[in-house]
Chains A and B, each alone.
Chain A
């Protein structure tokens, strides 16, 4: 059974850092690109960052470029999102998602349940 299990969310002060992790199982992790998608309270879906199956290619939304870093460890079937210089507007439910292709943009064919990140003093 395909599973994506996020962890690492929580409350952090503005300017602080947090690292999200996503443990994947039920599929060949290295064969698929992965992304993080977030949903702020009362708002729609926003793509945050993506990484190719090999980990050699990464992309970011302008809103997080220079502050967030996506990475993956294919030996551990785990996806990461390092979030630095956090702002109140980063408060959201962060979904770990599996894309349908090895690289490049594509449809999201599986979503985790999400990790809540709250940035507040």
Chain B
């Protein structure tokens, strides 16, 4: 199985900050990576697919990059509604696996 490791596990930031979350796969997954935002009591939402493609309706302050084993999610200017937990997910092979999550908190 492909293991997905996110860092950091949690991060504190302020509105307007630039935030970067990283995700590392235990083996190469090309660009088969997605990023999700999850808020308590809500269903997760897809942000990025194929490592760098923005899902429909997602604000352009979100961006993704990387290929192979190392990936990043960047929020260019943090907004109040962005405080949430973020997950990466590999879509290269079954079983589908998620990172452990990164909790983005208000500083």
A109-B32 in contact (CB<8A) = no
B44-A105 in contact (CB<8A) = no
Identify whether the interface residues of B are mostly helix, strand, loop, or mixed: loop
B43-A109 in contact (CB<8A) = no
- Is A47's beta carbon under 8 Å from chain B? yes
Tell me, rounded to whole Å, the shortest Cβ–Cβ distance linking B82 to chain A: 18
Known A-B contacts A46-B98, A47-B96, A47-B97; the reply to A107 vs B49 at CB < 8 A is: yes
- A15-23, A24-32, A58-66, A68-76: which lies at the interface: A58-66
**Could you tell me which residues of chain B, from 70 to 107, have a CB within 8 Å of some CB in chain A?**
87, 89-101
Q: Interface residue tally of chain B, by bracket? A: 20 to 34
Which of the residues B43, B55, B94, B98 comes within 8 Å of A59, measured between beta carbons?
Answer: B94
B43-A50 in contact (CB<8A) = no
Q: Interface residue tally of chain A, by bracket? A: 20 to 34
Give me the 3 closest cross-chain CB pairs, A-B, nearest first.
A107-B34, A111-B43, A107-B49
Chain A residues within CB distance 8 Å of chain B: 35, 44-47, 50, 59-62, 95, 100, 104-114
Instruction: A44-B101, A95-B43, A108-B36 are known; give 11 further A-B pairs, CB within 8 A.
Output: A45-B89, A45-B101, A47-B97, A59-B94, A60-B95, A62-B1, A62-B95, A105-B32, A105-B93, A107-B91, A111-B44
